[in-house]
Structure 1
Amino acid sequence: MGNLSLVTIVIIAANVIISFKGFNDFGFFEKYKFNVGSIVKGEQFRMFSSGFLHVDTAHLFFNMFTLYVFADVVIGFLGALYFIIIYVGSLLLGNLLSLYFHKNEYYYSAVGASGAVTGIIYSAILLQPDMSLYLFFIPIPIPAYIFGVGYLLYSIYGMKNRIGNIGHDAHFGGAIGGYIITLLLASWLFETHLLMIVILALPIVLLFVLKKLGKL
């Protein structure tokens, strides 16, 4: 982790400001959250706006801390413009997957930057697979790819058990977005990091297998 780049500061600030507005203004939260019925009726802006709302400060902190950890890796390799493309693309693909999974659940709602952040996690790990993290009170470095895969496995658990008003399936759409967009922007990864490309595909494949088997 280096110094925070301007684009990361702007994204974190936008998430904090909009989330706190939502914490204190129920009408605002309801108007801009992801909601299947409202989106189907034409309010597609929710596909984007919901990515800047969070259910509480813990949800907000976890997403922004995770973004802080991984953002500068992506920016360092690909630049700020490609970072924004990956972030926004992952946010939108995350919500598209949620819409696909819940298209028949008129009242299904979710919020959070998790799709966008998971896309950045996957992008960063693809770009720098030897990265290690020190997490909270764990005294040993954890390989970043283990964190990334674990993050998605937790998301499967969250989807299966409907934990919180959080778009757990959006994590997967975001991961797919970050995965595909990064490989399109940095095709040289197929020559240098092929094993990591395969490892990071595994939880994505698992998701669709479980969905196909009716386990989610």
Structure 2
Amino acid sequence: MPSYRTSFFEVPHAAVYALMTVTVLASGLCFIQSGGPAAPAELLYRYGGMYSGALPRHEYWRLLAYGFLHVNFVHLTMNMLCLVLWGGHLERRVGPAYFLILYLCAMVFGAIIGNAIHATPYLTVGASGATSGILGALFCLWILGKLDLRFDFFAINIGLNIAFAFGNSRIDWGVHLGGFSAGLIACALLDLVEKANAYALRCKFPEAVKVNLTLLGCVAALWGWAGQALATAGLPAWGAGIVFAGACCAVVKMVDLALSMKKGLAIVVTVLAGANAATVILGGWAIASSACGSRWPSGSIPLDNLLATFCSNPVLVSGLAAIGVAALTLWLCSKEMSRGIEDVGFVGASLRAERSRRHGL
């Protein structure tokens, strides 16, 4: 099995920087509104803090929102430091798409397990469950013999994680444990998926395509989980889950077949740009039909002003945003687009050859 040799520290990559940016902006907004380097519990609850009644009340969006909020500047700094120290290793090893999947899985299941462990009402925020998942995924790769890190890397980092979790009563150790377990298990499952893909798929997907498909899949899953798809189709939850999984498999296979064609990479990138634009338009329609009707104040002047601007002409704003997203997609995938346009039949062959060389992660 191929292994990945690295040093104790690895320079972060694009997905790590993107997650850091979103987290710092979300937490910074709370700090700005509170007027200091800390956010009160009421504000954290309003913006998505995870609490004991979230799941019974079907507030599933909190399973993701809580991971981008932090109590104070020290809390934010510690979690971002862990994201930098551990995330660089994992993203370089598995790529940005699988990194995002592992990070979000650890965030969600860390919150679920932490919620199950809590016996009393609570409110928790922070990226510690997701960063613990990064460490769990790295440990899984090390166990599988696919990561050439010394044992002291895990002894030091896991030891410090345990010490912080149990040494401070304000730290939610259940989220740490759940995130670490979720990262380890999800990484092992992705390794099995990659091994199965050698038989199910013909081509190795470029990372830009894989990341875009992952983000679109997350948006579709959130939309379905919110209940809009269930209400439309009239299916039970398990039936909708099966339909969604089947649809995802069908889309992946169609992309696989398209990539094997001449100039298929250019076609796939163009279709993804259109799908991103359509997603923005649908998202604008959903916001206009819900938030613009009630016009409830959020408590944040910038957010209220932004919502007022959008609600004044939602069709125009959504259309301009969709065009911008499509253009951004084409710009970010410019190398893949150029490669696909210039293809005379070698791109699909190279992607098929790369798939045949892969055995797991």
TM-score by length of 1: 0.72
Q: Would you say the 8 A contact 2:50–2:125 is kept in 1?
A: yes
Q: Would you say the 8 A contact 2:44–2:125 is kept in 1?
A: no
Q: Would you say the 8 A contact 1:71–1:124 is kept in 2?
A: no
Displacement, 1:2?
Answer: 3.8
Q: Write the distance in 1 (CA, Å) between the matches of 2:63 and 2:159.
A: 26
1:127 to 123, 141, 147: 141
Q: Write the distance in 1 (CA, Å) between the matches of 2:148 and 2:72.
A: 33
User: Which residue matches 1:30?
Assistant: 45
2:29 to 16, 21, 26: 21
Q: 5+ residue gaps in structure 1?
A: 133-141, 188-216
Displacement, 1:76?
Answer: 1.7
Q: Would you say the 8 A contact 2:110–2:175 is kept in 1?
A: yes
Displacement, 1:185?
Answer: 1.7
Q: Write the distance in 2 (CA, Å) between the matches of 1:56 and 1:6.
A: 25
1:180 partner amino acid? I
User: Which residue matches 1:88?
Assistant: 104
Q: Would you say the 8 A contact 1:152–1:172 is kept in 2?
A: no
Q: 1:156 to 1:9 in 2, by over 3 A?
A: closer
Q: 5+ residue gaps in structure 2?
A: 1-8, 34-39, 193-361
Could you list the per-position Cα deviations for residues 151-178 of structure 1 after superposition, in whole angstroms to 9, with x for gaps in the alignment?
34325524xx6x22x3221011100011
Could you list the per-position Cα deviations for residues 100-123 of structure 1 after superposition, in whole angstroms to 9, with x for gaps in the alignment?
112x42x31111100100010121
Q: Which moved more, 1:28-37 or 1:8-17?
A: 28-37
Question: Does residue 52 of structure 1 match 2:57?
Answer: no
Question: Does residue 170 of structure 1 match 2:166?
Answer: no
- Give the number of the structure whose alpha-carbon radius of gyration is greater: 2
Q: Would you say the 8 A contact 1:8–1:71 is kept in 2?
A: yes
Q: Write the distance in 1 (CA, Å) between the matches of 2:156 and 2:136.
A: 10
User: Which residue matches 2:153?
Assistant: 144
Q: Write the distance in 2 (CA, Å) between the matches of 1:8 and 1:95.
A: 21
* CA-atom RMSD in angstroms: 2.3
Q: Write the distance in 1 (CA, Å) between the matches of 2:11 and 2:160.
A: 24
User: Which residue matches 2:191?
Assistant: 186
Q: Which moved more, 1:39-48 or 1:87-96?
A: 39-48
1:153 partner amino acid? I
Q: Write the distance in 2 (CA, Å) between the matches of 1:40 and 1:24.
A: 31
2:128 partner amino acid? S
Could you list the per-position Cα deviations for residues 46-83 of structure 1 after superposition, in whole angstroms to 9, with x for gaps in the alignment?
11100111111111111111111111211122111100
Identity over aligned pairs, percent: 26
1:147 partner amino acid? I
User: Which residue matches 1:114?
Assistant: 128
Q: Write the distance in 1 (CA, Å) between the matches of 2:191 and 2:156.
A: 22
Displacement, 1:127?
Answer: 2.7
- Secondary structure of the residue aligned to 1:143 is helix
Could you list the per-position Cα deviations for residues 17-44 of structure 1 after superposition, in whole angstroms to 9, with x for gaps in the alignment?
1112222335542211111124422222
User: Which residue matches 1:8?
Assistant: 16
* Larger RCO, structures 1/2 (Cα 8 Å, 6+ apart): 1
Aligned residues: 173
TM-score by length of 2: 0.44
Q: Write the distance in 2 (CA, Å) between the matches of 1:150 and 1:2.
A: 20
1:153 to 155, 162, 183: 162
Q: Write the distance in 1 (CA, Å) between the matches of 2:131 and 2:84.
A: 10
Q: Would you say the 8 A contact 1:89–1:178 is kept in 2?
A: yes
Where do 4+ consecutive residues of structure 1 move more than 6 Å? Answer: none
Displacement, 1:130?
Answer: 4.6
Q: Write the distance in 1 (CA, Å) between the matches of 2:96 and 2:108.
A: 18
